[in-house]
Each structure stands twice: as C-alpha cells, then as structure tokens.
Amino acid sequence: MRFLKTPEGVLTLADVQTPEWGSRFEPVTVPGSALSYGFTRSAYWFRLAIDNPGELPLERLIEISNYALSEIAFSNRRQMAAT
C-alpha cells in the first residue's frame, strides 16, 4: 500500500491519477495493520493492489474505524475504465 498526503486537500481523483502526482505516493511503513496520522486537515490518498489469482470472485473487507474522519471515498480503476 502507498499513500500521498496533500496538506491543501484540494486534489481530485483525476489529479492523483496523473504521473506527476502518482509518482509522489510513498510506501506505508507502519508495522501491523493500524494506520494513524493524527488529527490534521490534510487529505490522505491511499493506493493498494488487491490480487485475485483464481477465477472465482473474492470478497475483501477494508475496515475504517475512525469516527473523526469527515469523508471517505473509494474508487476502483477497473470499474472506472468500464464506464
């Protein structure tokens, strides 16, 4: 998993998909499974790859358990390409 912190919080999904911003994503180096960046007005973008080597669909769960987050949005590159 990789992340990008944008202090201004003004980037769009299209922005972070450009090579200019895409190259700025850094590896997440937190040991374990819990990430915490403290209280901030910054926007954090996360990019992760989920691989399914089999032919049957897999279900996965991403848990976000922080009540203080004001917004969470998900996108799927494969679904976006199909529309």
Q: Residue 9 has what pLDDT?
A: 74
In the chain (83 residues long), the average pLDDT of successive 10-residue segments reads: 84 90 88 70 85 89 78 74 51
Structural domain tally of the chain? 1
pLDDT score, position 33 = 63
* CA–CA separation, 15 and 23 (whole Å): 12
Q: Domain of 30?
A: 1-83
Torsion angle of alpha carbons 82, 1, 19, 42, nearest 10°?
100
Contacts of 9 (CB under 8 A, 6+ apart): 41, 42, 43
pLDDT of residue 24: 93
